[in-house]
C-alpha cells in the first residue's frame, strides 16, 4: 500500500483527461476498477442465494435482503425489478444485494427456486 504522502499528493484532475480514478490513476473513462470489483464479487459466491429479513438501522422497518445471486449488475437490476413487481413493493440494489421492502421471504424463495437458484432462508 502506498504511503499517506503518496495517497494525498496524487493527481485528481487533468485538463487533458478530466477526472482521474484514485485507485488505478487512469482517466475515469478508461478505469477498470469497477469491473474488476464486480468480477471479484462474482468469484467469491458459493452458488447459494441467501434470503434474510433485516430491521437493524432501519428504524424498525423490515426489509428482505437477497444476497449471493450470481449475476452482474445489469442482470441483478432486472431480477430485482421482477421480484419487486411480484411482491408489489419497492426496493433497491446496493452493492450486489437486493433489498425488498417488507417481509416477503416465502414469496421470494418460491420465485427464485422456480428460476433454478439454490435458496436458503438465513437469519430470523
Q: Is 57 exposed, middle or buried (0-12, 13-18, 19+ CB in 10 A)?
A: exposed
- pLDDT at site 108: 94
Name residues of the chain where pLDDT drops below 70: 1-2, 6-15, 124
Residue 16 in domain? no
Q: Are strands 48-54 and 118-121 parallel, antiparallel or unpaired?
A: parallel
Range of the domain at 69: 46-122
Helix ranges (H only) for the chain are 4-8, 33-44, 73-87, 105-114
Question: Would residue 41 count as lying in a domain?
Answer: no
CB 94 within 8 A of CB 77: no
Does the residue 25 lie in any domain?
no
Contact call for residues 27 and 20 (beta carbons, < 8 A): yes
In a domain, 90, yes or no: yes
In this predicted structure, what is the pLDDT of residue 90?
A: 93
Axis crossing angle, helix 105-114 with helix 73-87, rounded to the nearest 10: 130
Q: Residue 73: inside a domain, yes or no?
A: yes
Q: What's the pLDDT score for residue 10?
A: 64
- At residue 119, the pLDDT reads 93
CATH number at 76 reads: 3.30.780.10
Amino acid at each position: 500500500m502506498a504511503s499517506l504522502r503518496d495517497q494525498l499528493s496524487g493527481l485528481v484532475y487533468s485538463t487533458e483527461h478530466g477526472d482521474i480514478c484514485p485507485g488505478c490513476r487512469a482517466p475515469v473513462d478508461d478505469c477498470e476498477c469497477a469491473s474488476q470489483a464486480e468480477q471479484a464479487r462474482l468469484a467469491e459466491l458459493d452458488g447459494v442465494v441467501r434470503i434474510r429479513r433485516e430491521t437493524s438501522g432501519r428504524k424498525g422497518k423490515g426489509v428482505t435482503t437477497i444476497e449471493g445471486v450470481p449475476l452482474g449488475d445489469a442482470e441483478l437490476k432486472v431480477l430485482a425489478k421482477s421480484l419487486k413487481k411480484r411482491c408489489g413493493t419497492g426496493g433497491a440494489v446496493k452493492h450486489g444485494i437486493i433489498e425488498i421492502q417488507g417481509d416477503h421471504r416465502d414469496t421470494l424463495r418460491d420465485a427464485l427456486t422456480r428460476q433454478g437458484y439454490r435458496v436458503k432462508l438465513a437469519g430470523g
